[in-house]
Amino acid sequence: MRVFKFGGASVKDAEGIKNVYSVLQTAGYEDVLLVVSAMGKTTNALELVIKNYFDKSAELQSSVQEVKKYHNEILLDLFEDENNPAFAAVNTQFADLEYFLAHNKSPNYNFVYDQIVSYGELISTTVLSHFMTHMGIKTQWLDVRNFVKTDSNYRDAEVDWDLTKKNISKNVKGKILNITQGFLGSDENNFTTTLGREGSDYTAAIFAYCLNAESVTIWKDVPGVMNADPRYFENASLLNQISYREAIELAFYGATVIHPKTLQPLQKKEIPLYVKSFINPLLPGTSVAKGADLEPYLPCFIVKRNQLLISLSSIDFSFIMEEHISEIFGLFHQFKLKVNLIQNSAISFSVCVEDKFGNFKDVNAILSKKFKVDFTENVTLYTIRHFDEKAAHTVEENKTVILKQVSRETMQIVTKES
């Protein structure tokens, strides 16, 4: 079996859905499992629903209606007859969402987040499955929550691999086009969980691992993995082949084209990963596989914006020792601050972190009792793999460099725009 993943950009409108059909006509669809994200910016729209729900905003119903209107317009563009069962199926999903909004009693934000935001994927795959059936392709719609089982760490759940493998290997059948959702799972109480933002790639890898798949293909709006994000760098080049090791390094430092968790399960079973263009599906794209060296061997640029640079120093000029660093990292783990760079001296310690859950205020209050805390918000972290002098100059030009760290293969630079 082959596993294909289509992200939100590929299914953002009716033309996108039709293009997925065209890609499948080109690439083949027998014995294929599709993992699909929410349509376009639906996740963001559902996050607004969540905000309005907790704020008890009068805008709650209108924000839900906006999501319904968006999907209904896509349905109307795809199907001439409103009696097509796709309309009823999608209406059922929205009815379930509205029931949850009306009857939920839990004050747990992360729990509520996962229950609500999951409807993006559930609805997108419902639409896609009905359209494929409409076009004559026999499909099987799978509720991923019956297969991927996790703990109850809502918004960033850990996979129960033994149970997940048992569910998938026993119940996913070949010789048909299977369609399921990315990003989602469920806990032991069958409440919906999510695997972290952009987790659909990871879902594809989970299924591939459990099915001993032939390959995984991630279909993107770019020709493949580039050495830099074309939005930020001119003359970005396609990387034809990357080793698992190099891809894991790039993902670790924040390359967004491949989710960081995606590669480990594929590497364990040596399942090749392809990153290809859904705009030009006949282009070769990028392959990630065992033993493939980086081609060409050139600097790779990774940009992470909206970072937070925290500098800690001891109040009494004593050394910052292992026990202090252990305590600091324990706090970062507890409050889910993702550390992307570390630099320390005898009496100071600096980290560049991503505060995606908005918890730094609480962390700062605790740290300030023991350390002098300085921080700079909205910095940008550049990572350059296989750097050279020209690459460093490209990043540093017209910027204020506030921290730089260099190792044998990698340079990291924290900047504020000048």
Residues 6+ apart with CB under 8 A from 273: 205, 215, 216, 217, 218, 247, 258, 262, 263, 266, 287, 288, 289
Q: From CA 376, how far away is CA 96, in angstroms rounded?
A: 43
**DSSP 8-state secondary structure symbol assigned to residue 10:** G
Q: Is 285 annotated for ligand binding?
A: no
Q: From CA 78, how far away is CA 262, in angstroms rounded?
A: 32
- What's the CA dihedral at 182, 144, 71, 281 to 10 degrees? 50
Alpha helices in 258-381 (DSSP H): 263-268, 322-334, 360-367
Phi, psi angle pair for 205, to nearest 5° = -70, -35
Q: Is 6 annotated for ligand binding?
A: yes
Q: Is 5 annotated for ligand binding?
A: yes
Query: Which residues face 33 on adjacent strands?
Result: 3, 178
Burial class (CB in 10 A: 0-12, 13-18, 19+), 106: exposed
Phi, psi angle pair for 97, to nearest 5° = -60, -45
**DSSP 8-state secondary structure symbol assigned to residue 337:** P
Q: From CA 146, how far away is CA 39, in angstroms rounded?
A: 22
Q: Is 2 annotated for ligand binding?
A: no
Q: Is 59 annotated for ligand binding?
A: no
Identify the three-state secondary structure at position 321. coil
Structure tokens at 277: 């263009």
Phi, psi angle pair for 265, to nearest 5° = -65, -30
Q: Is 336 annotated for ligand binding?
A: no
Q: Which long-range contacts (CB under 8 A, 24 or more apart) does 61-69 make?
A: 64/94, 64/97, 64/98, 64/101, 67/42, 67/94, 68/94
Q: Is 43 annotated for ligand binding?
A: yes
Residue-by-residue DSSP string for 21-55: HHHHHHH--TTEEEEE--STTHHHHHHHHHHHHHT
Burial class (CB in 10 A: 0-12, 13-18, 19+), 6: buried
Binding residues for substrate are 43, 121
Binding residues for ATP are 5-8, 231
Binding residues are 5-8, 43, 121, 231
